[in-house]
Amino acid sequence: MDYLRVLGQSLDRSGFPWKKLIITFQVAQYVFEGFLSFRQYKILQETRPPKTLEGEVDQETYDKSQAYGRAKARFGSISGIYSQVQNFGTIYYDVLPRLWDLTGTWLFRYSPQGFTGEIMHTLIFFFIYNLITTIINLPVAYYSTFVLEEKFGFNKSTVKLWVTDLLKGQALGIALGTPLLSAFLAIVQKTGNSFFYYLFLFGISVQLFAITIYPIAILPLFNKLSPLKEGDLKTGVEALAKRLDFPLKELFVIDGSKRSAHSNAYFYGLPWKKHIVIYDTLIEKSETEEVVAVLSHELGHWSLSHTTKLFGIAQFHMFYIFALFSVFINNRSLYQSFGFHKEFPIIIGFILFSEALAPMDMVIKLLMNVLSRKFEFEADEFAVKLGYSTQLAKSLIKLQIQNLSTMDADWMYASYHFSHPILPERLGALGWSGKEKKADPKAMNGEKPSSVATGREL
């Protein structure tokens, strides 16, 4: 595309302060998100639950939920500062060009003949950089699991299991990352200025492959999937799937309690063969009809084509990313601003391009959350039409209590960060009053507030 080439040439200006610009973006984003967190922290200091929840949540549970929210907010603030220090240190001390030169020296001295070139160099650079980053972030990850989550009774993992998961993740990253990154680089090298078309097709192929291989080869490395036993729950879920013509292949229970006390349920698979996975914690803490109601919401996403729409949007976003990358891949001023004066590696170009794209990513995140909120209300409405209004409301309340999820939110913070409506909004749309449960069509059909709920995937 000529206009992409022209745009690329116009952005490649000698001496353009890319480094200062990107640092400014990072600081601005950090300050903006800090401002939102400050607004949310004031909500987390409230001492009384929202009116909708006054008859559903006791004071002790509400206080504990607020304390959990404040603890996560403080942790997020500290880990955010830690991340910013890492980013500034990486940029200020020219870590990327230094590490690239160092790995190039290692490759020249120690690699067998034939194992040279940009692809091999990139693999060594990428995996060492990833290993360093992982090690630096170990204290944050450890604190999150064994201090924060432990304090509020959610952590079920052990240090041994945590370390094992970490090592499996690194090994998996090497096993899958090597061929994927090699293919990515080879496509860019061999297909000229139109490489983004081929990267797009490659990306779609990888996603379809991942959908197929993940439950077979990857998920079992970390969790155990067991067939759901015969009983009322299995009968109810199968009846629901048959009622909706959902192509259910298998029903699984996952041992989520192995690591956490949080609950969830989801489905995955190809269009003609789907699998439903229910957390053992959800089954243990909910009535059968409540679990079925949760799944009626999840299958509502499928029936209303939400998953298909989101997949389509993801493909468009991927194409847009690769197309814009073609604008920056030959931008010498960008490379030189970050210390690359002789070599211009593809992977470095992609990393720097991603940093330059950060402001646009913030806008996309906001828009996707708006769409996600809309879909969540629609899936709730779908469950209501199936007759699960009361059961879904009860299940949402139980999950809120069990997960100590945020029970109220600042509208600005919620609009930017959350992808799901907060519980009071969902109960209001469901028409829940504690005694009379009647869905509010006006609330269900779009006249809803803009805030959204915690990171729960229900």
Q: Which residues are catalytic?
A: 298, 380
H or E stretch at 38: helix 18-43
Apex 264 CA angle, 263 and 270, nearest 5: 155
Q: How many Å separate Cα 16 from the centre of its chain?
A: 34
Secondary structure class of 250 (helix, strand, coil): strand
Cα–Cα distances (Å) from 448 to 301, 341, 378, 443, in that order, read 19, 53, 11, 6
- Residue ranges of alpha helices (H) inside 286-437 are 288-303, 306-328, 332-337, 346-356, 358-385, 389-403, 411-417, 423-430
* DSSP secondary structure of 93-158: TTHHHHHHHHHHHHHHHHSPTT--SHHHHHHHHHHHHHHHHHHHTHHHHHHIIIIIHHHTT-B---
* 271 DSSP assignment: T
Rounded CA separation 373/308 (Å): 16
Q: Starting at the edge strand that comes first in sequence, how are the strands of the sheet with 273-279 ordered?
A: 225-227, 248-254, 273-279, 265-270
Query: Under DSSP, is residue 262 helix (H, G, I), strand (E, B) or coil?
Result: coil
Distance set, CA 316 to CA 309, 361, 394, 405 (Å): 11, 14, 38, 32
441 neighbors 71 (Cβ within 8 angstroms): no
248-254 vs 265-270, strand pairing mode: unpaired
Q: What single DSSP character describes residue 275?
A: E
Q: What angle do CA 230, 231, 232 make, to 5 degrees?
A: 145
Task: Read off the tokens for 270.
Answer: 């190809």
How many other CB atoms are found less than 10 A from the CB of residue 404?
A: 22
Contacts of 96 (CB under 8 A, 6+ apart): 90, 338, 339, 340, 348, 351
* SS3 at position 254: strand
Cα 89 to its chain centre, rounded Å, is 26
Beta strands 248-254 and 225-227 are antiparallel
